[in-house]
Amino acid sequence: MPESSRRASVAIVGASGYAGGEFLRLALGHPALHVVQVTSERHAGSPVEYVHPNLRGVSDLRFTALADLDGADVIVAALPHGVLAGMVDQVAGLAPVIVDLSSDFRVRDADRYARHYGGAHPRPDLLGAFRYANPELYGAGLPGATRLAGAGCIATATILALAPLVAAGVLARSEVIVEAKIGSSAAGSEPSRASHHAERAGAVRTYAPTRHRHSAELEEHLPGLNVHMTATAIERVRGILVTAHCFVPDGTSERDVGAALREAYADEPFVRLVTARRGVHRVPDPRVLDGTNFCDIGFELDHDSGRLVMMSAIDNLVKGTAGHALQALNIALGHDERTGLGFLGLHP
């Protein structure tokens, strides 16, 4: 484990995709991390700015092939689903700390994994060996961790909205309906002309009408709830807005719901409660979260029906992927969890 008093060397595997590129952006601005290598099979030999023009003039790194991966204090794997699981022993021999941004080690139960991912896990012996990188729920177990599994982006937004209600016991029913509106980058990890063309064309499509693999995480981390999820891609590249429809017992007030949220997140620097009841900013809005590690949570209660609508917004590439992984890595390495994650967003 690298000492917190020196900069830890970081290698990012699969750094040409959305997730890897976002972790690279954050790590390059981190005072305690030093990125020493980035890999990409397609772009080996090219400078990082060839794929990530926002990094022009910031770094002189060039992509290398995975076969040329050297050792580092931390290896961040931003590979497609299923790839790291097939080579995890090789990677583990090159770094004492591994951060996985894919879905390979998010789920602890092999049967649940097989049910949601359509097949048996290639390394069931390692399920549970990685700490789930949701710092708001599991921060106490992250110091000293050497294996971190980044949580799913839709799962992160949903869990952060609903977990305090489960803990406080303010829900009357186990059934919850979740509609997740997602940007194109949440539906794939590699930048493509097609995704940007779809945004320009204003395309809207249903990405997962009834089954989404992030449901595995909801089962595991929202015990007692039966969450029915639909994910719809909208005309943005970044951003997720989760709307969760729940029911509360008669007599439940907004004060009760607010108290549950405040108790859960009073000391959490990256969860913000949206409480305004007037004006144009009464609900969480992903547009003001681009590039940030915040999760904004709001709600509205219909007293006549007992229906509670929870709303949760994040940037799926930061709080939903690279940001919460870096937040968890900060805790694991002994740094303030806010380090390198101070960007406050833009408006308008």
Please report, for residues 7, 74, 230, 264, 339, the alpha-carbon distance to residue 32 in angstroms, rounded to integers and kept in the order given.
4, 12, 39, 29, 8
The Cα diameter of the chain in Å comes to: 64
The answer to whether residues 126 and 88 touch, using CB atoms and an 8 Å cutoff, is yes
Reading the block at residue 214, the tokens are 């992030």
Reading the block at residue 3, the tokens are 């000492």
Report the side by side order of strands in the sheet with 97-100: 63-64, 33-39, 8-13, 74-77, 97-100, 147-150, 131-133
Beta bridge partners of 311: 243, 298
Query: Rounded CA gap, 261 and 299, in Å?
Result: 10
Surface-to-core class of residue 197, CB atoms within 10 Å of its CB (0-12 exposed, 13-18 middle, 19+ buried):
exposed
Query: Rounded CA gap, 241 and 165, in Å?
Result: 18
Catalytic choice (153, 171, 178, 331): 153
Q: What is the DSSP letter of 247?
A: E
> Long-range contacts made by residues 115-118, C-beta under 8 angstroms, separation at least 24?
115/216, 116/211, 116/213, 116/215, 116/216, 117/81, 117/213, 117/216
Query: Rounded CA gap, 188 and 288, in Å?
Result: 22
Chain-centroid distance, C-alpha 275: 24
**CB burial string 258-268: b at 16+ within 10 A, e below:** eebbeebbeee
Reading the block at residue 340, the tokens are 């390198």
Please report, for residues 184, 195, 212, 227, the alpha-carbon distance to residue 206 in angstroms, rounded to integers and kept in the order given.
11, 14, 11, 18
Catalytic: 153?
Answer: yes
Residues belonging to the active site: 153
